[in-house]
Each structure stands twice: as structure tokens, then as C-alpha cells.
Amino acid sequence: QVQLQESGPGLVKPSETLSLTCTVSGGSVSSGSYYWSWIRQPPGKGLEWIGYIYYSGSTNYNPSLKSRVTISVDMSKNQFSLKLSSVTAADTAVYYCARDRGASGYWYFDLWGRGTLVTVSS
Amino acid sequence: QSALTQPASVSGSPGQSITISCTGTSSDVGSYNLVSWYQQHPGKAPKLMIYEGSKRPSGVSNRFSGSKSGNTASLTISGLQAEDEADYYCCSYAGSPTPPVVFGGGTKLTVL
């Protein structure tokens, strides 16, 4: 079965760049049926969609984060990645990668990684 | 787009039914039958419970059902069980421009 697993540093200093990778196992990131999304959840708060990438490399970002976000895909490693620049304490959150049926017009997240907590602190 | 509006909390006793509302606008919930619902237990990732307004993924109990009226979507859980205690989030397609999806603020379900 398809599984997603986030990886990356759990602690990032203010003003630096947060970098996370999501590894897709049991399936292929090059499937044309899915977008591959990043979603975050600050401690004790709700979910916020960050953005997605399609296997072709096309991306779509939340306007509230667009100036700081880059999502990329590496089909050779079956991974997609998130970079968030100039982080502040407000970026402290659990970051999830998720499979998004939006590419097929259905717009729901049917598979999630376990999430990884990233804390922004000096 | 603004977040969808959900009640902060709902509660019910085992065996009862509860409904969680999710209010959007004519630009999201009201325009598309593309609302999804997610269950999240503490420290766990969200789990898809309902998609396209009323469809259940394989393996999700038929005690969970979804519906929509106007700009408000609803999740109903019948025959409440202790394991249903969790946070629930709605999500709707919002068309363009971005973001294409918006989430609700979440509802804490307490099983008394």
C-alpha cells in the first residue's frame, strides 16, 4: 500500500529556511492522478494548506505563503520537497505531506504522512 | 478565501447521533459538491472520512455520513462510540484563484 513519510530537521532558526522531504513508498509520485501537497498545523490549531506540485513540475501555492514557499519533485527518488524561507516562530507547526485528488478534479486528501513537528527557535 | 466556519465543540453520549456543521460561502461550499471531512485523534495525522460531500472511503464506518444544504455542509455520526472522540475538520474546493481548498477551523467531539 502507498505510504508517505516526512523527513527533515525538527528545529530551524528564525530567518533561516525550513526544508522537508516527503518520500512516497508503494506508489509513484509520477502518477498523473494526483497532486502532492504540503499542509501544516500549528500546535493546538487547525489545518492550513501550503501548496501542491504535480509530477510535471507545475505548482500552486497558498497566496499567504507564496513569496516564501518552493515545492519541488524528484521522480528519481520518488520524493517531493518543501522549502519555506525566512521562517519565524509563527511557522512552528506539524508539517504533513498528503496525496491530493485534485488532479482528477475531486479535491480531497486521501493519504497523509504521519507529520513532522518543526520548531522555529534560536 | 476565509476559513470555513465550524463549531468549536460538540458532545454526545454513546449511542446518540451528532451533527457537525461547516459553513462556507457561495464561492466554495455552495458552488461545489466537493466537501471532505477528516478525523484527527491527538498526535495523529488526519484521516479522510467523507469526500465529495457524502461518499465514504473504503473502511470507514457507515455511521459517518455527509450532506449539504446551500452554503453549509454537515457531518453526522450516528451510534456514537468512544473511539469517535476526536477533532473533525471540513474542507472544500474553492475554485480559482488560489488557494483551491479551504479548511474549517475544526470541531472537538467529546463522547460523554
**SS3 state at B20:** strand
Tens digits of pLDDT across chain A (122 residues): 999 999 999 999 999 999 999 999 999 999 888 999 999 999 999 999 999 999 999 999 999 999 999 999 999 999 999 999 999 999 999 999 999 988 887 889 999 999 999 999 99
B1, pLDDT greater than 70 = no
* Beta-carbon count within 10 A of A121 CB: 9
In this structure, which amino acid lies at residue A32? G
Q: How far is B106 from chain A (nearest CA, A)?
A: 6
Nearest residue on chain A to B36, alpha-carbon basis: A108
Whether B82 has its CB under 8 Å from any CB of chain A: the answer is no
Question: Tell me, what's the pLDDT at A99?
Answer: 96
Q: Looking at chain B, which residue has its C-alpha nearest residue A50?
A: B99
Query: Cell digits for A55?
Result: 509530477
- Tell which B residues from 33 to 52 touch A, by Cβ distance under 8 Å: 34, 36, 38, 44-48, 51-52
Contact A46 B106 (CB under 8 A): yes
pLDDT recorded at residue B2: 65
Distances (CA, A) of B38 to A31, A48, B25, B46: 24, 13, 20, 6
pLDDT per position as a tens digit, A47-68 = 999 999 999 999 999 999 999 9
Reduce the secondary structure of A29-53 to three states and give it as a string.
CCCCCCEEEEEEECCCCCCEEEEEE
Cα dist from A50 to A90, A96, A106, B8, B26, whole Å: 14, 10, 18, 23, 23
The pairing of beta strand A93-100 with beta strand A35-41: antiparallel
Task: Please write the tens of the pLDDT for every residue from B52-99.
Answer: 999 999 999 999 999 999 999 999 999 999 999 999 999 999 987 678
Burial (0-12, 13-18, 19+ Cβ within 10 Å), B32: middle
